[in-house]
Amino acid sequence: MTTNAELARRRAEAVPRGVGNALTVYADRAANAELWDVEGRRYIDFASGIAVLNTGHLHPRVQAAVAAQLARLSHACFQVTPYESYVALAERLNAIAPGPGPWKTIFFTTGAEAVENAVKIARHRTGRSGIVAFSGGFHGRTLGTLALTGKVQPYKAGFGPLLPDVYHVPYPMAFHGVEVADSLRAIERVFKADIAAERVAAIVIEPVLGEGGFYAAPPALLRALRDLCDRHGILLVADEIQSGFARTGRMFAIEHAGVAPDLLTLAKSLAGGVPLSAVTGRAGIMDSVPPGGLGGTYAGSPLACAAGLAVLDVIRDERLCERAERLGQVIATRLRALQARWPCIGEVRALGAMVAMEMVRERRADAPDAELTKALVQAAGRRGLVLLSCGVDGNVIRFLAPLTIPDAQLTEGLAILEAALEDVAPRPHG
Ligand SMILES: Cc1ncc(COP(=O)(O)O)c(C=O)c1O
């Protein structure tokens, strides 16, 4: 039998260190919210491969749809001989896009590719080059998206020069004293000091900051951005790559604010583990690019589109938006009970099942505890729970269990979390 240690040794020889590993256990197989490593050890999965598995590992309906597709056609390239599943999935996404249509959808393979193409489409449509994005935002690691990603270490350092004409403004974080008015003032300052509003193609925002720490944008910010975009002819791009597909209790997080974006970038849970991403946008905007300007060899592969169609069926039939609300309440209630006892939990945040706790010293927002966060992830791993961190300061634990997780496994996972906290956190008062 292969061991985790043996694989770690081979990995160190064969794979560059630039791609990190949260845990050093090697996944062998998985089902819904459970995962087993190569040594046969079982884990509860609260990470979902970074937000990809809202419908769980290998949902039987997704697995069956991919298997059926694999028996008919695995690749043709939509640009060469198109196929129905691509069109059908575009129709389904257009029908659920947040806001009045008509909408159109184009598919790609990774999240970063979707964001890059949203920028291409926005630039082409507006004839402008400027992009406003948010500090702490994450939009990908490719050379194009790196400029939008709002965190230098470890993402941007050493890779420049990056795409020019990208400006960052603060994302509201009430816990750190940053309010909506601060973000809006910063945008006005950018328009005064750096680039005229008439040269800005798009404002790109995650309705819930993902890698940056699970801060939800207050609805007032999203409404104000919509208004600002309308006044200046700027396109509003909602990056729902991490927050989409029922995670926050709505199909898309921006729905909580009742705001309609011009373009949506989608990926991760869209296809339940098969690589697939999309840009969904207002038809007139999407059609501004002439034939040949957009695409990709594998973009919207038949296997991925079959998976995507099954995922949308599962979200609808298993009422995963409602389930996300309930899961979020259960997790947040448990975390708030822990927070009352443990001064290292500075804040618990939840929008639906997009839940996080921020680890600090002695309840102080200005004293992030990245070391404790790292130790907690490792302690949880040793006890059989896959946890993920995030946050600009690396001090946030995010909860991304499949929305299909059985109640008993959720309870089991939360108990492991508490035990792991006991292992590594400074003793609580009282
Ligand atoms: C909001 C957001 N946008 C874009 C990306 C990039 O996606 P990918 O890693 O598939 O390129 C991510 C990945 O974490 C993300 O969370």
pLDDT (0 to 100) of residue 168: 98
User: How remote is the CA of residue 239 from the centroid of ligand 1, in Å?
Assistant: 9
Q: Is the CB of 240 under 6 A from ligand 1?
A: no
pLDDT (0 to 100) of residue 132: 98
Query: Cα separation of 191 and 197, whole Å?
Result: 5
Ligand 1 pocket test, candidate residues 242, 265, 392, most atoms within 8 A of CB = 242
User: How remote is the CA of residue 419 from the centroid of ligand 1, in Å?
Assistant: 31
Q: What is the mean pLDDT of residues 278-306?
A: 98
Query: Cα separation of 107 and 93, whole Å?
Result: 11
User: How remote is the CA of residue 228 from the centroid of ligand 1, in Å?
Assistant: 26
| Nearest residue to 239 (alpha-carbon basis) of 183, 277, 273 | 277
* Nearest atom, ligand 1, residue 277 CA: 10
Q: What is the mean pLDDT of residues 99-126?
A: 98
Q: What is the mean pLDDT of residues 198-226?
A: 98
Q: How far is CA 84 from CA 69, 90, 114, 306, in A?
A: 12, 10, 21, 10
pLDDT (0 to 100) of residue 257: 98
Q: Which DSSP string do the residues of 346-390 spell out, in sequence order?
A: EEEEEETTEEEEEEEETTEEEEE-HHHHHHHHHHHHHHTEE-EEE
Query: Cα separation of 148 and 122, whole Å?
Result: 14
Asked whether the beta carbons of 28 and 398 are under 8 A apart, the reply is no
User: How remote is the CA of residue 140 from the centroid of ligand 1, in Å?
Assistant: 5
User: How remote is the CA of residue 102 from the centroid of ligand 1, in Å?
Assistant: 26
* Nearest atom, ligand 1, residue 268 CA: 10
Q: Is a pLDDT exceeding 70 seen at residue 318?
A: yes
Cβ neighbours of residue 184 closer than 8 Å, sequence gap 6 or more:
221, 224, 228
pLDDT (0 to 100) of residue 358: 98
Q: Is the CB of 138 under 6 A from ligand 1?
A: yes
Q: Is a pLDDT exceeding 70 seen at residue 430?
A: no
Asked whether the beta carbons of 299 and 108 are under 8 A apart, the reply is yes
Q: Is the CB of 110 under 6 A from ligand 1?
A: yes
Q: What is the mean pLDDT of residues 197-208?
A: 98
Q: Is a pLDDT exceeding 60 seen at residue 93?
A: yes
Q: Is the CB of 211 under 6 A from ligand 1?
A: yes
Class of residue 36 by CB neighbours under 10 A (exposed 0-12, middle 13-18, buried 19+): middle
Q: Is the CB of 137 under 6 A from ligand 1?
A: no
Helices 180-193 and 219-232: crossing angle, nearest 10°? 20
pLDDT (0 to 100) of residue 428: 76
User: How remote is the CA of residue 39 from the centroid of ligand 1, in Å?
Assistant: 30
User: How remote is the CA of residue 241 from the centroid of ligand 1, in Å?
Assistant: 6
Q: How far is CA 147 from CA 1, 75, 133, 198, 263, in A?
A: 44, 32, 9, 20, 19
Q: What is the mean pLDDT of residues 265-272?
A: 98
CA 234 from chain center: how many Å? Answer: 24
Percentage of the chain surpassing pLDDT 70? Answer: 100
Ligand 1 pocket test, candidate residues 19, 268, 400, most atoms within 8 A of CB = 268
User: How remote is the CA of residue 159 from the centroid of ligand 1, in Å?
Assistant: 18
Q: Is the CB of 242 under 6 A from ligand 1?
A: yes
Q: Is the CB of 275 under 6 A from ligand 1?
A: no
Q: Is the CB of 206 under 6 A from ligand 1?
A: yes
CA 14 from chain center: how many Å? Answer: 29
User: How remote is the CA of residue 267 from the centroid of ligand 1, in Å?
Assistant: 8
* Nearest atom, ligand 1, residue 137 CA: 1
* pLDDT range class, residue 396, cuts 50, 70, 90: very high
User: How remote is the CA of residue 342 from the centroid of ligand 1, in Å?
Assistant: 32
Alpha helices, DSSP H only, in 52-204?
60-70, 84-96, 111-126, 143-146, 180-193
Ligand 1 pocket test, candidate residues 139, 209, 248, 298, most atoms within 8 A of CB = 139
- Residue of the nearest CA to atom 4 in ligand 1? 139
Q: Is the CB of 148 under 6 A from ligand 1?
A: no
Mean pLDDT of the chain: 97
Percentage of the chain surpassing pLDDT 90? Answer: 99
* Nearest atom, ligand 1, residue 110 CA: 10
Q: What is the mean pLDDT of residues 11-16?
A: 97
Ligand 1 pocket test, candidate residues 138, 148, 248, most atoms within 8 A of CB = 138
Q: Is a pLDDT exceeding 90 seen at residue 1?
A: no
Q: Which DSSP string do the residues of 198-231 spell out, in sequence order?
A: GGEEEEEE-SB-TTTT-PBPPHHHHHHHHHHHHH
* Nearest atom, ligand 1, residue 265 CA: 3
User: How remote is the CA of residue 139 from the centroid of ligand 1, in Å?
Assistant: 5
Query: Cα separation of 147 and 199, whole Å?
Result: 17
